[in-house]
Chains A and B, each alone.
Chain A
Amino acid sequence: MQVRRCGSLTKLLITEITRMGPAFCVIGLQRENKNIHSIRPVPSSANGWIHFPHQRGDILEFSLAPFPGAKPHIEDRVSTRAFQKSSALAEAEIVPFLRRAELARSLPELFGCKVHENKKGSGLYAMPPEAQRSICGCETQNLRLEICANELRASLVLPSGEVLRDLPAVDHDWRNFVDAALAPDRGANRLPRLERFLNSNFHYKIMSCPHHFIRLGLTRPYSGLCWLMLDTLFPLPRPEWLEEF
């Protein structure tokens, strides 16, 4: 992986492109000596990108400046100039680097703090002052995606056996896949067909994939809480899967 500081430029391997609302959030991996850690480049005027014309696996050169952001989004850096692509890695080559970055096996390890269950309804959250980071990778013992009232949600089992339910799935590629599956030109019963796919073939395709891996993130503080999200799910969906249902 050619990911290193290059003069005043920082090379990032793009590993996450998430979508929640109109903007994209982007995260990349930076290598410093033997360490690999996550960096979230943000535009100078907002937390997300309205337009981001790159893909996961692209290696981009950024000019980054420290960002005086509040915990737990310690990975934020301001991108001060236009960035450019220098090379790219295949999907299967990304995951080994993710496994060497932030990694957890249990709920408290994810963000270095206690994770709380929403007592009013669904979802899990962390308290912003307690969380030590806002992104972390993990293996899963099981994972399920479902469409709940038009929203893509994920439930998963950590290696510790702890269950995380109803996490918003904000992975850009997976959300695009669901949008494409539900496109009007795909005929009748689109939603039941998608649900059937998610309940059967999806599980087999994802869990048996040798580079199955996920990354969980925290939202920006909202009413004083940071909510857990499924940021990235490997393998990424393939367009040809749409032909299967």
Chain B
Amino acid sequence: MNDSRSPLVSKTDSQRSLVEACFRREAGSVESIPADNVDLLEAGILDSMAWVSFLRAVETASGVPDLGSGLNQRSASLGEVLAALQNSASEISRVNDAALDPKISSSPTLAAFGASSAAVGSRVIPSEDVDRAFNMPAGKLRGRAGIESLAYAGEGENELTLGARAAQEALRSASCGPQELDWIIATSETHHDYPSLSAQLHSRLLVRENCGALDVGGACLGLLNALAVVKSLIGSGQARTILVVTADVHTRTLTPSRVAGEFGGLFGDGASAFLLRAADAVSANGGYLLGEFIFGCAGQYAAAIQVSDEKDGGLAVQFDGEALSRAAITRMEKVISSVELRSGIPRGSVGGFATHQPNPRLVALLAKQCGVSPERFPPIARVYGNLGSSTCGAALHEILRSASQQTGGELRPIFLASLGPGLLFGGAWLTPHENRK
């Protein structure tokens, strides 16, 4: 333990001062502080509304989340509040100590996947219809890019609704209440409004007020960026439960009147969500642990794709499809090789590759280049189009879903690899939880 920390007695005193200050604010300064064992409701000192209001004030002032649920089936007394506060504080302290004190733990807490989900636009459009909408010959998207259909957002669907749908499903399948979340981390390459996507999700999901909300960029690399933040927050003991949401609605921006079909026609709309928890809080059976990451930026390819707003409200798109395709294949193969080297996991033993999928043809080429079966890449772009940051998310969800349904046999590792304009690149790996026992 750190010797510079205050002695326990003074911590207890400061907690008592905090509780009493919150009580005085609620009950009024004329009210004397009741004895620790007095039930404030039965004694008529606070009514039920003031009691909950008082507890919320203590939560805010102390930084201890969800104090109220720790007081269920207890009496409404100051003594119980103090006891619950001390218990929560010592739990936080224990986790922080474990994360920071090398004598207690030599490695940071690992992050484990608790649940995942994906949602796509409700209108599934044959690619030939999209060809026609962009004034391209019918069959071009299917023949040249391998896209059979695209998921388009329906009326009333947007980044928030798709992201919230995926998030709620992930929370539900993990039996995780929104109040358990410490952070929401959102990424989107199409949502540019304020409040930001993470803030909107925070409200929509009704998470605790003191749950953080963070937006990360990186376009199609956004999911990996978000997961890297998760690893840091959980690893450092700053958070225990985090929701990552990707959501992209391209079809309202990349319209036929604004961009060429060879670019705009590739994109669909979708979202994904992942619930991650500190690994010591989840069952080791059947889950996955978040491994390590590699990141970088190959600036020599920056000109291959550039998108910017124009003064007249238009969209300036610079898209060199051939150059980008070559760069994408080369770089993703390098990323997968790096992940293989860093993790020590041979690519042949990988159960699934959750990668960015600019288009299905490039996925097939990448699989060939890497010498692995294309079946290890879930066919997201073929069925839904390029979903931006959600492509990698939807692919990862599909791999996790298949793994969870697997009966018998050992779970196999998962590789992640993605790219973003710049040319940003990143990779990571997931390992079955039981391997780390």
Show the binding face of A for B, using Cβ within 8 Å: 20, 118, 120-123, 141-144, 146-151, 153, 155-157, 161, 163, 165-166, 168, 191, 195-196, 198-200, 203-204, 219, 222, 227
Contact = CB atoms under 8 A, between A and B. Distances in A.
A150 B49 CA distance: 12
Contacts of A163: 203, 206
B52 A123 contact: yes
Nearest to B50: A121
B209 A196 contact: no
Contact of A200 (B47, B71, B164, B172): B172
Interface of B: 22, 25-26, 47-57, 68-69, 71-74, 76, 164, 168, 171-172, 175-179, 200, 203-206, 209
Contacts of B205: 142
A196 B76 CA distance: 23
A122 B69 CA distance: 15
A161 B53 contact: no
B26 A121 contact: yes
A168 B48 contact: yes
Given A123-B49, A161-B200, 5 more contacts: A121-B54, A157-B203, A157-B204, A161-B203, A200-B175
A5 to B, nearest CB: 37
Contacts of A227: 49
A120 B51 contact: no
Nearest to B175: A200
A141 B177 contact: no
A149 to B, nearest CB: 4
Nearest to B81: A149
Contacts of B26: 120-121
A109 B47 CA distance: 28
Contacts of A153: 52
B179 A146 contact: yes
Given A121-B22, A191-B72, A151 B204 contact: no
B128 to A, nearest CB: 34
A142 B178 CA distance: 12
Given A144-B178, A195-B177, A151 B203 contact: no
A148 B175 contact: no
Contacts of B171: 199-200
5 contacts: A121-B25, A165-B206, A196-B175, A199-B178, A222-B47
Contacts of A142: 164, 204-206
A151 B56 contact: no
Contacts of A168: 48-49, 52
A163 B71 CA distance: 25
B177 A146 contact: yes
B69 A195 contact: yes
Contact of B52 (A141, A149, A156): A149
